A and B are shown apart, each in its own frame.
Chain A
Amino acid sequence: MAVPRFLDSLRGAATEAGGALLGRLQHVRLPGVGQSSAADDPETAARRWRAVTVLCSPEQVGAGADLPAPLAALGDRLDLRITPAPGDRGTELAARYRDRASDDDLRALRSALRAAKQLIEVGEVLRVDPAPHGVRKPTPQGAALEGATARAGGEGVL
């Protein structure tokens, strides 16, 4: 019984490591590795505006309680900047926290911006799960990928 328990804990650690990997990239100081800021100090990086460009007019983004629900849910903690994008590309929707933001806060903001854009452009947020799949062999690589995938909606360069 000790061996299966050890393997379970190993897989758990792999899942956590995979999930943490994308988050760790936010703090890697190599240009082009996929983090939001390569050269900023952490305080400056956390204070940067995070923006999506939405194919709509500024009025369609809304304001206050009329904002798309994922953004409205973050409430008064956010400053928002809503400006027309050049070249008929729509509207630049940018947000940042007024107070000090943790990694979890920033992950929530990235997800909220992406979801808000989808709600405005398409009318719904795309779901992939539950997707049909066969037997998931319990391997460390699979567990790490599961962890990374679970975090992927809230990570990236945004």
Chain B
Amino acid sequence: MRAATWTGVNEVSVETVPDPQILNDHDVILRVRRTTTCGSDLHLLGGYIPFMRAGDVLGHEFMGEVVEVGRGVRERKVGDRVVVNSFIACGHCWYCRQELYSLCDNGNPNPGITEALWGQSPGGCFGYSHAMGGWAGSHAEYIRVPYADVGAFVVPEGVSDERALFASDAVSTGWMGADLAGTKPGDVVAVWGAGGVGQMAARAAMLLGAERVYVIDRLPERLAQVREHVGAEVVDYSSTDVLAELREVTGGRGPDVCIEAVGMEAHSSGIQGAYDQVKQQLRLQTDRPSAVREAILACRKGGSVFVLGVFALMVDKFPLGAMMNKGLTVRGAQVHGQRYMPRILDHMARGELTTEHLATHVMPLEDAARGYQLFKDKADGCVRSVFVP
């Protein structure tokens, strides 16, 4: 089959690779119909997560059609049109039973690496390095899906492939951030980052009852999408003092909930941006946390900060004093998508959650290298490149 692979830092190729096969009873094989780039792929692409081998198949956000099922699969059958969560979870361990699916004890066959990094191992993730299990990704004609009864959800009739695709990760991640941050009716919510995840976090906050939602970014086309398709208000940090603006629009309190949807390659202006870039390039810190810092400083006393962006290891100048003295709740997670996907697909079917606008560049899988270049450079208004194998 054909697949898009990581072949080195900032290099993507489309190659012929072996077809996947059923290896466990709970597997299905999917013919991929749509698969998309995600901002967190850029950390892999740029070599910031040094656990990729040349030839690894990229991609973790996808949907498709079941073409083969393992003998232990009960809920899925050949011909089902499904969307699959990006994290691989068994559904049987204590964490899965608590609906903390990305923390699954059994989804990562390489726990020694992540335990060495973080002290414990989370679950596995498709196409996201050997630290997260070495699972082949979705930018391919076919993909093997372990624990398919737990992670693959049938797409309701009437929901398009383009809409369902983003339930796999962008919407479920955004929804989780808004939910686990404790968003409730009447809240003011601020979201850092107007990419796919940030937009969907903002939309989820609105559906959960937030009275006002602000999304912070610098890219005009993304801010325009927020206004038009999400219905939230925007703050352009390239021309506005974010902390002053958020204080002003919240009566001096600050947002009740602050959601960071940027990650370890955060862009920021001024001396802070230069400082983080230099330290990261000198390997004196692994991650650039400017959006997390700002979220903590912006949040109202006693409020809640949720870190959705992917971070690898260590950061510098973390405002621990502000977090402690303001009595904040700070939380983060990879996506517990299985918990939210049924509800998300219902909202999609009712037209309350639309995602088609995120797919600004749809192209054949053979054009994956071009798609990643557009996405990385944010060129031509690219929000997401979507590949059709």
Contact indicator per residue, chain B 3-36, by CB within 8 Å of chain A (1) or not (0): 1010110000101111111011110000000000
**For residue A139, which residues in chain B have a CB less than 8 angstroms away from its CB?**
54
A130 contacts chain B at the CB level, 8 A cutoff: yes
B146 contacts chain A at the CB level, 8 A cutoff: yes
> SS class of chain B's interface: helix, strand, loop or mixed?
loop
Q: Are B135 and A126 in contact (CB under 8 A)?
A: no
**For residue B263, which residues in chain A have a CB less than 8 angstroms away from its CB?**
none
B112 contacts chain A at the CB level, 8 A cutoff: yes
**Chain B 126-164 residues near chain A, CB threshold 8 A:** 130, 133-136, 140, 144, 146-147
> SS class of chain A's interface: helix, strand, loop or mixed?
loop
**How many A residues touch B, CB cutoff 8 Å?**
46
**For residue B16, which residues in chain A have a CB less than 8 angstroms away from its CB?**
134
**For residue B114, which residues in chain A have a CB less than 8 angstroms away from its CB?**
156
**For residue B72, which residues in chain A have a CB less than 8 angstroms away from its CB?**
123-124
Known: A131-B135, A132-B20, A158-B115. A153 touches B110 (CB 8 A): yes
Known: A34-B116, A155-B116, A156-B121. A122 touches B54 (CB 8 A): no
Alpha-carbon distance A142/B107, docked complex (angstroms) = 23
Q: Are A153 and B116 in contact (CB under 8 A)?
A: no
Known: A133-B55, A137-B7, A137-B55. A155 touches B115 (CB 8 A): yes
B residues near A (Cβ < 8 Å) are 1, 3, 5, 7-8, 13, 15-21, 23-26, 50-57, 72, 90, 92-94, 97, 105-107, 109-121, 124, 130, 133-136, 140, 144, 146-147
Task: Give the 10 A-B residue pairs with the shortest CB-CB distance, closest first.
Answer: A34-B116, A155-B112, A156-B115, A152-B110, A152-B112, A134-B15, A134-B55, A134-B5, A137-B54, A156-B112
A residues near B (Cβ < 8 Å) are 22, 25, 32-35, 52-53, 55, 89-90, 110, 114, 117-118, 121-124, 126-137, 139, 141-142, 145-146, 148-149, 151-158
